[in-house]
């Protein structure tokens, strides 16, 4: 007995058509008109769209960062992802400085496998590329990891020099892997930040002054040129501004294997309206690169329309706005700055440290914001409902392209015979308003508070099993599965 999704409109990256979808076991086995329902459970999808479950390739769950740990873990983060219509994501393993890539992988496996409720993969964030670590890179393929992330920013923490980046690109190219870069010139940022602080410019809005668009454009261009010379597929994460988009366009025009993404917040938030809010409110909107301007928003919408950028992710990495509640110093000392979920479970009023760490010094505000739950809904509202992108382009950007670029297509990212039955049943007419009161993320604010949306997932199915039914959660811990990805993925 299977499950027959009947009378819906199926949307893929190429087509939008009325069809029934039969799911048997974990996969789609038949797509057609008026399929025979005998012996199957029928899900009536009249008036609904059937879309592949969304994929977000840029998240940071339970990430130790900036003197604390990001709030959502592989339990709450997965639930929120699914309520937003996504069924898979790729998170970043971070190599410990001085340790191996596999040391990092063990750590991330330990935080994910027993909690996972949706499917997930890992990128490897390489932070300390010693010779023996360079030699370790090819063995990642045996672990199903095909993507390396390198940082051109965060001097004296994660930043690598150009020699290291170029060598890593050559190794990756040989192995059929893809290199991802955080492209900002960290040397320049490291000069600007102390100068601003010395001038008494300590409020959140000066975060943007410390990381101007020029340093993103310069670093993006440098990475694009190096990728072209190395013949290495490059994926620039969180592109925010014209100079960076143009660097990618130039590389693509030259035939370089370069691609990029932006993240939801960079289409909506601005320095003037958000980062410069009175008091400390701007801290909620601090991420790197910083949010920019309306003019940049227009550039990004055009870039996802014309194919200069291939995906919209979130860089979800959320911290309490008002954190640090309870005897957290003692807890941190006793628990090696970890196990914050247990800490907060003791007493609902307890909170791990958050944005308040940077009161009086913008450089100490943990970077990142919540967003993985709202990604599909806000891009549907402002992309599809506003006429900027078609429903098929929406599916391409949010589901299919990320699966293709990162080596998990067509198992993930489409509705096709043989694909995993990851399906969002999308009600295009339901009107609602985004609010922290109704979010499933572990957060005390959201960045789209009050945003009206028409369209939301009614049900979400993961490999043939219903995990979201309206407001009800049916997922189970440890049901989410690690996605082993394949090398040699196409450059789109």
Q: Which is nearer to Zn ion, 8 or 289 (CB)?
A: 289
Instruction: Tell the smallest beta-carbon distance from residue 111 to Zn ion (Å).
Output: 17
Q: Which residue intervals of 307-413 are DSSP H helices?
A: 328-334, 340-346, 375-379, 391-395, 401-405
Residue 78 · residue 115 · CB < 8 Å: yes
Residue 158 · residue 165 · CB < 8 Å: no
Strand extents, DSSP E, 167-293: 178-182, 234-236, 258-263
State the Cα–Cα distance between residues 253 and 224, nearest whole angstrom.
11
Percent of the chain as helix, strand, coil, to the nearest 5? 35, 25, 40
Strand extents, DSSP E, 193-351: 234-236, 258-263, 311-313
Asked if 203 is part of the footprint of Zn ion (rule: CB under 5 A), the reply reads no
Binding mask 390-429 for Zn ion (x = CB under 5 A): ----------------------------------------
Instruction: Tell the smallest beta-carbon distance from residue 6 to Zn ion (Å).
Output: 40
Q: Which is nearer to Zn ion, 92 or 343 (CB)?
A: 92
Q: For helices 213-230 and 162-175, give the axis angle rounded to 10 degrees.
A: 50
Q: Which is nearer to Zn ion, 30 or 105 (CB)?
A: 105
Q: Which is nearer to Zn ion, 264 or 419 (CB)?
A: 264
Q: Which is nearer to Zn ion, 221 or 318 (CB)?
A: 318
Q: Which is nearer to Zn ion, 315 or 356 (CB)?
A: 315
Instruction: Tell the smallest beta-carbon distance from residue 279 to Zn ion (Å).
Output: 27
Instruction: Tell the smallest beta-carbon distance from residue 176 to Zn ion (Å).
Output: 24
Q: Which is nearer to Zn ion, 94 or 421 (CB)?
A: 94
Instruction: Tell the smallest beta-carbon distance from residue 46 to Zn ion (Å).
Output: 40
Half-sphere exposure of 116 (CA within 13 A, CB side): 23
Instruction: Tell the smallest beta-carbon distance from residue 410 to Zn ion (Å).
Output: 27
Instruction: Tell the smallest beta-carbon distance from residue 195 to Zn ion (Å).
Output: 26
Instruction: Tell the smallest beta-carbon distance from residue 287 to Zn ion (Å).
Output: 8
Instruction: Tell the smallest beta-carbon distance from residue 58 to Zn ion (Å).
Output: 6
Nearest C-alpha neighbor of 19 from the set 10, 11, 28, 27: 10
- One DSSP character per residue, 37-55 reads -TTSEEEE-TT-EEEEPEE
- DSSP 8-state secondary structure symbol assigned to residue 442: S
Residue 456 · residue 427 · CB < 8 Å: yes
State the Cα–Cα distance between residues 15 and 28, nearest whole angstrom.
17
Instruction: Tell the smallest beta-carbon distance from residue 271 to Zn ion (Å).
Output: 20
Q: Which is nearer to Zn ion, 62 or 315 (CB)?
A: 315
Q: Is 412 exposed, middle or buried (0-12, 13-18, 19+ CB in 10 A)?
A: buried
Q: Which is nearer to Zn ion, 315 or 444 (CB)?
A: 315
Nearest C-alpha neighbor of 80 from the set 117, 123, 26, 122: 117
Instruction: Tell the smallest beta-carbon distance from residue 292 to Zn ion (Å).
Output: 17
Q: Which is nearer to Zn ion, 3 or 265 (CB)?
A: 265
Closest residue to Zn ion, based on beta-carbon distance: 315
Q: Which is nearer to Zn ion, 207 or 463 (CB)?
A: 207
Residues of span 221-260 touching Zn ion by CB under 5 A: none
CA angle 341, 343, 344 (to 5 degrees): 70
Q: Which is nearer to Zn ion, 6 or 238 (CB)?
A: 238
The two structure tokens encoding residue 197: 């602080």
Residues of span 301-330 touching Zn ion by CB under 5 A: 315
Instruction: Tell the smallest beta-carbon distance from residue 169 to Zn ion (Å).
Output: 19
Q: Is 54 exposed, middle or buried (0-12, 13-18, 19+ CB in 10 A)?
A: buried
- One DSSP character per residue, 307-335 reads TSS-EEE--B----SS--BSSHHHHHHHT
Q: Which is nearer to Zn ion, 189 or 315 (CB)?
A: 315
Neighbours of 110 (CB within 10 A): 9
Q: Which long-range contacts (CB under 8 A, 24 or more apart) does 452-455 make?
A: 452/381, 453/377, 453/378, 453/380, 453/381, 454/381, 454/385, 454/428, 454/429, 454/430, 455/377, 455/380, 455/381, 455/384, 455/385, 455/426, 455/427, 455/428, 455/429, 455/430
Instruction: Tell the smallest beta-carbon distance from residue 433 to Zn ion (Å).
Output: 28
Q: Which residues bind Zn ion (CB under 5 A)?
A: 315
């Amino acid at each position: 007995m299977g499950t027959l999704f009947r009378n819906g409109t199926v949307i893929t990256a190429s087509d939008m058509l009325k069809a029934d979808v039969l799911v048997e076991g974990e996969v789609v086995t038949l797509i057609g008109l008026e399929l025979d329902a005998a012996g199957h459970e029928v899900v009536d999808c009249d008036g609904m769209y059937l879309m592949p479950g969304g994929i977000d390739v840029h998240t940071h769950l339970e990430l130790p960062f900036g003197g604390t740990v990001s709030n959502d873990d592989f339990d709450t983060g997965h639930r929120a992802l699914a309520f937003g219509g996504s069924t898979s994501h790729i998170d970043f393993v971070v190599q410990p400085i001085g340790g191996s890539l596999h040391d990092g992988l063990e750590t991330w496996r330990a935080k994910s496998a027993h909690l996972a409720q949706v499917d997930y993969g890992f990128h490897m964030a390489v932070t300390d590329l010693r010779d023996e670590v360079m030699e370790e890179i090819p063995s990642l393929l045996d672990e199903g990891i095909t993507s390396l992330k390198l940082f051109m920013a965060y001097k004296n923490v994660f930043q690598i020099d150009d020699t290291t980046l170029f060598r890593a690109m050559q190794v990756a190219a040989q192995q059929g892997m893809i290199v991802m870069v955080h492209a900002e010139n960290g040397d320049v940022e490291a000069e600007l930040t102390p100068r601003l602080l010395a001038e008494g410019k300590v409020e959140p809005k000066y975060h943007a002054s410390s990381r101007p668009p020029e340093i993103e454009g310069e670093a993006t261009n440098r990475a694009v040129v190096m990728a072209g010379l190395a013949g290495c597929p490059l994926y620039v994460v969180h592109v925010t501004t014209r100079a960076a988009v143009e660097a990618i366009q130039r590389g693509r025009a030259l035939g370089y294997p370069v691609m990029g993404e932006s993240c939801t917040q960079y289409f909506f938030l601005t320095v003037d309206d958000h980062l410069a809010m009175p008091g400390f409110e701007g801290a909620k909107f601090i991420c790197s690169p910083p949010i920019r301007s309306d003019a940049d928003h227009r550039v990004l919408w055009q870039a996802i329309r014309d194919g200069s950028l291939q995906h919209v992710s979130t860089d979800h990495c959320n911290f309490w706005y008002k954190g640090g509640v309870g005897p957290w110093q003692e807890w941190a000392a006793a628990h090696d700055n970890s196990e914050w979920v247990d800490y907060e479970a003791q007493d609902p009023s307890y909170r791990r440290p958050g944005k308040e760490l940077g009161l009086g010094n913008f450089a100490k505000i943990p970077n990142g914001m919540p967003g993985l739950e709202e990604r599909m809904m806000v891009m549907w509202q402002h992309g599809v409902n506003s006429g900027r992108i078609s429903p098929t382009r929406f599916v391409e950007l949010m589901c299919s392209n990320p699966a293709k670029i990162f080596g998990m297509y067509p198992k993930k990212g489409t509705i096709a015979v043989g694909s995993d039955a990851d399906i969002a049943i999308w009600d295009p007419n339901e009107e609602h308003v985004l609010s922290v009161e109704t979010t499933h993320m572990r957060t005390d604010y959201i960045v789209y508070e009050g945003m009206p949306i028409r369209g939301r997932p009614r049900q979400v199915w993961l490999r043939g099993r219903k995990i979201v039914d309206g407001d009800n959660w049916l997922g189970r811990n440890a049901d989410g599965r690690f996605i082993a990805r394949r090398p040699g993925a196409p450059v789109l």
